[in-house]
Structure 1
Amino acid sequence: MRTPGIFIFGMVLAPCGWILELICTVAPAWRTINNLPGQSSDLVLQQGLWDICRTFTSSRDIQCNQQDTQYFSAQIIEIARALMLSSLILNLIGIGVASVGVRCWTEKPHWTVAGVGGLLIFISGVLTIIPVAWYTHIMTSIFSASTDVRVGYCLVLGFIGGIMEVLGGLVMSIGLCRRCGARKRDERPRAFPVKSTRGPSPAHRVTVPSISSSVSSVPYYSRPSETDFTRDKRQQDSTAYRARPYDTDL
């Protein structure tokens, strides 16, 4: 028996979503700040969950490990860190559990185990979407030295990775529904034939007309035997002898 398509779909989307989620967590590009007052016009400040970098559009120079206590003290930063780390760990656990249930080495898949793994992957995707959506909603209200605040590529990758995990986990969770449905079918009472309390009905008597041997409408033909042939020949010879004339008759 080959691996069901829903498990293949989930096992492909879950690792891809985890990679995008890891980039979103580590990279310092949740938002970009341009046109800083008193700074060069080509300066771009990239802020993430763990680090802040200074980049220039006219060159490739990047200066990271920038300090900004007011930015890192925001409540959304601490909550987003906890949720993103929890999502990464939970996704790995879900992929490990689902790998056991998908059964690449057994004859039949373990629907319950694979469904539990899909449920963990689904929760991991939800934990990713929550901080990303929340950060996007209040991005402009977080402390910034400039009003020119733009969305960073980490938020885009976070949305894509979270949606991939949600879809993959939701599809794999169908294994739990199938397992529950099979269990309900097994527990359904079977219908047994109802025995009648009345006694057996008397047998119907049918009168068959008797056929007498004396009254037969079908003629009976017997096979001629050798004795009948000899008897018939003697009768013919005797008749011929009696019909022969004698001298006295002349």
Structure 2
Amino acid sequence: MPGTASASIVTGIVFAPLGLVLVFTAAITPQWREGQARLGRVGTGVGESRGIELLLLRSDGLWESCLQVVHSELRECWPVSGAYQHDSRVRATRGLVLTSLFLCGSGIVLASVGARCWTDTPLRNVAGAGGLLVALAGVLSLAALSIYTHHLPKLAVELVSNMSDFQGLDLHKLPSLALRPAGSLYFGWVGAWVQVLGGLALLFGVGRPQCPGRTRRVQREIVMKAYDVSC
């Protein structure tokens, strides 16, 4: 059915960029894992006995790590370094994510060129190749996220004690952080599945009958030939 083909191709063209944006957002944000440590309490005014408990929030991404004291303006971020940066699992995750972004971008370009339903001659093979690249990008994103999530508790934690905003705080005396998955991972999971669905939608649409414009043109040609024969 031509309508089904068009709907499938349009769905793929919409889903593919959406998945690319979500995976890219996950890649550049430093919330792949996070943990908290207690810093103690500070008073909020005269006569306050309990005060506010300050928490040190640590978060790590693929390219950046951050420390922030909750309920304050103290925040510092720096490029990942040390054992965490050179961990083979982190490096594998980064490589897979970069490859996924490149393949998805290339697939979107091919799909846009090939799925030309506004013309009479869509390039189905080109659109199908684009869908295949987008689906493959989603699979690579899922692989990267699976590797990072599975090994998250084993990845090293580098404490940086020479940061300007945290002078006077001995970070090495803080209790160990219980790190857990954070928001960037969830963006990545959603984006990866959207990429897979978008790629499959493009492949499904390519295998369908030709676009409505071409179908109508062929029908007109058949009617005209029949008219010429009858005359």
Is the TM-score greater than 0.5? yes
The residue aligned with 1:55 is 68
Letter in 1 for 2:11: F
Task: Give the drift of 1:62.
Answer: 2.4
Among the aligned pairs, what percent are the same residue?
A: 34
What number of residue pairs does the alignment pair up? 178
Structure 2 residue aligned with 1:115, among 125, 128, 131? 128
Letter in 1 for 2:115: V
The residue aligned with 1:27 is 29
More helix by share: 2
The verdict on how the C-alpha distance between 1:89 and 1:43 changes in structure 2, with shifts beyond 3 A counting, is same
Task: Give the drift of 1:134.
Answer: 1.3
Task: Give the drift of 1:61.
Answer: 3.5
Task: Give the drift of 1:53.
Answer: 0.9
Question: Secondary structure at the residue paired with 2:58?
Answer: strand
Task: Give the drift of 1:14.
Answer: 0.6
Structure 2 residue aligned with 1:133, among 146, 165, 178? 146
Question: Secondary structure at the residue paired with 2:72?
Answer: coil
Task: Give the drift of 1:55.
Answer: 1.4
Task: Give the drift of 1:171.
Answer: 1.5
CA offset digits 1:137-161 (Å, max 9, x no partner): 1111112372411211110000000
Letter in 2 for 1:13: F
**Which runs of structure 2 are paired with 1:154-173 in the superposition (5 Å)?**
154-173=184-203
Verify the 8 A CA contact 1:112 1:175 in the aligned structure 2. Answer: no
Question: Secondary structure at the residue paired with 1:148?
Answer: coil
The verdict on how the C-alpha distance between 1:50 and 1:67 changes in structure 2, with shifts beyond 3 A counting, is closer
Task: Give the drift of 1:136.
Answer: 0.8
Structure 2 residue aligned with 1:73, among 81, 86, 99? 86
Q: What is the CA–CA distance in structure 2 between the aligned matches of 1:58 and 1:68, rounded to whole Å?
A: 27
Verify the 8 A CA contact 1:34 1:44 in the aligned structure 2. Answer: yes
More strand by share: 2
The residue aligned with 2:8 is 6
**TM-score, length-scaled by structure 2:** 0.70
Structure 1 stretches lacking a partner, 5+ long = 180-250
CA offset digits 1:170-190 (Å, max 9, x no partner): 1211245458xxxxxxxxxxx
**Which runs of structure 2 are paired with 1:189-208 in the superposition (5 Å)?**
none
Bigger relative contact order, structure 1 or 2 (CA pairs below 8 A, ≥6 apart): 2
CA offset digits 1:194-234 (Å, max 9, x no partner): xxxxxxxxxxxxxxxxxxxxxxxxxxxxxxxxxxxxxxxxx
Q: What is the CA–CA distance in structure 2 between the aligned matches of 1:128 and 1:33, rounded to whole Å?
A: 24
CA RMSD of aligned residues (A): 2.4
Verify the 8 A CA contact 1:111 1:178 in the aligned structure 2. Answer: no
